[in-house]
Amino acid sequence: MKLHEYQAKDIFAEAGIPVPESRLASSVDEVMEAVEDIGYPAAIKAQVHVGGRGKAGGIKIAMDEDEARQAAEDILGMDLKGYTVEKVLVEAGVDFENELYVGITMDRSEGKPVAMVSTEGGVNIEEVAEENPDAIAREHIDPAFGLHPYQARKVVFEAGIPRDVAFDVASFLSTLYDLYEANDASDIEINPVMITSDRDVVAADAVMNIDDDALFRHDDLAAMEEDSYEDELEAKAGEYGFDYVRLSGNTGIIGNGAGLVMTTLDLVDYYGGTPANFLDIGGGAKAERVANALDMVFSDENVDSVVFNIFGGITRGDEVAKGINEALEQFDEIPKPVVVRLAGTNAEEGMEILNTDLVQVEATLEDAVQRAVENAKEVSQ
């Protein structure tokens, strides 16, 4: 579960990390009330789960009332990388001299969390990692003992953080790890950490992602779940209990098992298509669950075709086939061409059940993906 910036900043502030004064607003009038209280300059920031908000026009600095009103009118309701902006964070401007990056994530290759610090803040950290990896200092953390204070200081100094603010930045990092561990986070970062002209250290942005499977023991975070959804599809995925990620392509993908879905995504890309989503219906999926998955993918206006990739283990092929038939029979006309590949438990029975007037059937995954990509290209022409 991804938290919005305003949600993460509330948690950071409660833990003692300084953040700029801010107010959440969902209308132009609310924005104007907020800037009147906060003063100028003020940042008006779209609250959506996408990177590069500033470059896409989702963050604007207002120096006076006219600029604030114009920014609010421009940002509220705008389409930002496929998401409609319904809320903005109105935040006091920060007079800064330097921008840094600090964060904690899981290094799966090492099986440990890793603390990261860089003097190249305010930009996409993935780009920094690719183009200039030496600009990021790293320190792995033994989860049995946590982040020791000396480790926080070590990685901060290795990153080249100025000495007069290094201990404050190390304190930020230690607090982030405490929040990471206490809240079962998968990622937590501040980008940028701003160093002001008075040499104060301020969290100008906040990212915090929570492990969905741990929400049962965090009632306070679970209460934020509804507000964390970006659109109706994500809300619907949460309601259905699906593992779902919306992407920017036009080939919808449904499978049972994360590895199988990822393989299908890779093949769509390999054969010249663009994946529209990651949707894992899980093991043991019954007909109703399969029908819900199809309903979700059909609801995505970006999807031009669908590939259904099922390998029967716990999930029986005949149950999947029933779900596909039930879902498609609800439509007077099938909204998107559907290609199905079934293998494994009861796959032959499922193939016999499938209504081939409604779906296209392929024996291999490669053939199914190629056909789905071709269907998407034909529809989009």
pTM for this prediction:
0.72
Binding residues: 45, 52-54, 91, 94, 99, 191, 205, 256, 313-315
CA 324 remoteness from chain centre = 28
The tokens of 220 are what?
Answer: 């306070």
Low-confidence ranges of the chain (pLDDT < 70): 226-231, 283-286
Q: Going from the N-terminus, what domains does the chain have, and what CATH number goes with each?
A: 21-92 (3.30.1490.20), 96-222 (3.30.470.20), 232-380 (3.40.50.261)
Q: What is the pLDDT of residue 229?
A: 54
What pLDDT score was predicted for residue 331?
79
* Residue 228 pLDDT: 52
According to DSSP H, which parts of the chain are helical? 5-14, 28-38, 65-75, 125-131, 149-158, 163-182, 219-222, 225-228, 232-240, 258-270, 287-299, 317-328, 347-353, 365-380
Report the binding-site residues for ATP.
45, 52-54, 91, 94, 99
Q: Which pLDDT belongs to residue 285? A: 61
Active centre residues (catalytic) = 101, 189
CA distance 172 to 12: 9
Nearest Cα neighbor of 306 from 328, 284, 288 is: 328
User: Within a 10 A sphere around the Cβ of 279, how many other Cβ atoms?
Assistant: 26
Do 307 and 362 meet the contact criterion of CB atoms below 8 Å apart?
no
Q: By CB neighbour count within 10 A (0-12 exposed, 13-18 middle, 19+ buried), where does 97 fall? A: exposed
* Contacts made by residues 351-354, CB under 8 angstroms, sequence distance 24+: 351/317, 351/321, 353/318, 353/321, 353/322, 353/325, 354/321, 354/324, 354/325
Quick count: other Cβ atoms within 10 Å of Cβ 373?
Answer: 25
Say what percent of the chain tops pLDDT 90: 65
Dihedral in degrees, nearest 10, Cα atoms 297, 303, 305, 307:
-40
The dihedrals phi and psi of 307, each to the nearest 5 degrees, come to -120, 130
pLDDT number for residue 227:
56
Q: What is the mean pLDDT of the chain?
A: 91
Instruction: Provide CB contacts within 8 A for 218, sequence distance 6+.
Output: 183, 184, 210
* pLDDT value for 322: 86
> 186-197: b or e for each residue (b if 16 or more CB lie within 10 Å)?
bbbbbbbbbbee
pLDDT digits 0-9 by tens, 199-216: 999 999 999 999 988 989
Rounded Cα–Cα distance for residues 12 and 379 (Å):
47
SS3 label, residue 79? strand
Whole-angstrom Cα Rg for the chain: 24
Q: Residue 131 contacts by C-beta under 8 Å, 6 or more apart in sequence? A: none
Tens-place pLDDT, residues 352-371: 899 888 899 998 999 999 99
Q: Which residues touch 357 (CB under 8 Å, ≥6 apart)? A: none
Q: Are 212 and 245 a contacting pair, CB within 8 Å?
A: no
Complete DSSP assignment for 95-155: -EEEEEEEEEEEETTTTEEEEEEES--SS-HHHHHHH-GGGEEEEE--TTT---HHHHHHH
pLDDT of residue 226: 58
